[in-house]
Amino acid sequence: MLSRLPSFSEATNTTLRSYLGDWRDNITWPEPVLTDLDAREVFELDWGLTRL
């Protein structure tokens, strides 16, 4: 797919965003996940991450 599209074209950008998501907006994290390990664990499990 990417080999057929010109680099940095709008079509390439649109295609990549449809596959990878749109990362232009700022990412904001809930404050407790930065300081509270229990809140961080719940947050990560909710996102589908598993315990080691």
Phi, psi of 14 (to 5 degrees): -65, -40
Residue-wise pLDDT tens digits, 5-52: 777 788 888 888 888 887 788 888 889 999 999 999 999 999 888 876
Split at pLDDT 50, 70, 90, the class of 2 is low
Q: How far apart are CA 28 and CA 6, in angstroms?
A: 32
Decide if 5 contacts 14 (C-beta within 8 A). Answer: no
Q: Is residue 42 part of a domain?
A: yes
In this prediction the pTM is: 0.48
Q: What is the pLDDT of residue 50?
A: 80
In a domain, 7, yes or no: no
Residue 12 falls inside a structural domain: no
Domain count, the chain: 1
Residue 47: domain span: 24-52
Indicate whether 44 belongs to any domain: yes
